[in-house]
């Protein structure tokens, strides 16, 4: 099957747009992330606090969260722990973004609180794009499979309704 045929079939699956949540209490850092990621095929959503991020996570579906570790009031570790305790957000991948040195204790805490990866500032744009793109592709495949499964179930139900069991 050609790529064109696959894309045509995927268009019929009604796969929702992908969103990436960027969380950082420093607006300049959010702008920098936005500039680096603007060419990727996703919607970029910003939050300047942990509380704002959690509110957005409850209202919208996200493919990935880029989460600053050091923030006032609620740090990235706390946000990650809350995300992991909520059914809606427990499986959203989290990449911690930090200015801290590669401190094993902090990294361990990050992975224990739910991170799938770490990026250290200053961020390498190529590495950031590569990692974000990987998680977008993974999420796309998941959504594609879910849509195909949904379509298959609907088709089976229609067959049962039309012809009985």
Percent of the chain at pLDDT > 70 equals: 90
Contact 129, 36 (CB under 8 A): yes
pLDDT tens, position by position, 68-89: 999 999 999 999 999 999 999 9
User: What digits encode the pLDDT tens for the residues 87-111?
Assistant: 999 999 999 998 876 778 888 888 9
What is the CATH number that goes with domain 17-163?
Answer: 3.40.50.2300
Burial class (CB within 10 angstroms; exposed 0-12, middle 13-18, buried 19+) of 56: middle
Rounded to whole angstroms, the Cα distance separating 42 from 142 reads 15
> Which helix H or strand E contains 55, and what residues bound it?
helix 50-59
The residues pairing with 119 across neighbouring beta strands, listed in sequence order, are 97
Single pTM value for the model:
0.84
Please report the pLDDT score of residue 22 as a whole number: 98
Domain spans, the chain: 17-163
Identify the pLDDT of residue 158: 78
As given in the structure block, the two tokens for residue 63 are 């493919």
Spatial separation of the C-alpha atoms in residues 7 and 152, rounded to whole Å: 18
**What distance in Å separates the CA atoms of residue 88 and residue 71, rounded to the nearest whole number?**
23
Contact 41/133 with Cβ under 8 angstroms?
no
- Residue ranges for the chain with pLDDT beneath 70: 1-12, 101, 165
């Amino acid at each position: 099957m050609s790529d064109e045929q696959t894309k045509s079939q995927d268009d019929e699956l009604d796969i929702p747009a992908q969103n990436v949540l960027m969380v950082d209490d420093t607006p300049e850092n959010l702008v920098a992330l936005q500039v680096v990621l603007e060419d990727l095929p996703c919607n970029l959503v910003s939050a300047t606090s942990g509380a704002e991020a959690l509110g957005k996570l409850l209202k919208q579906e996200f493919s990935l969260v880029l989460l600053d570790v050091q923030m006032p009031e609620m740090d990235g570790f706390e946000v990650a722990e809350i995300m992991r305790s909520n059914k809606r957000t427990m499986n959203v991948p989290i990449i911690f973004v930090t200015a801290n040195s590669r401190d094993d204790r902090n990294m361990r805490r990050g992975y224990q609180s739910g991170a799938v990866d770490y990026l250290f500032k200053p961020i390498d744009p190529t590495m950031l794009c590569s990692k974000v793109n990987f998680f977008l592709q993974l999420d796309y495949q998941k959504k594609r499979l879910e849509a195909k499964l949904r379509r298959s179930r609907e088709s089976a139900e229609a067959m049962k309704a039309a012809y009985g069991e």
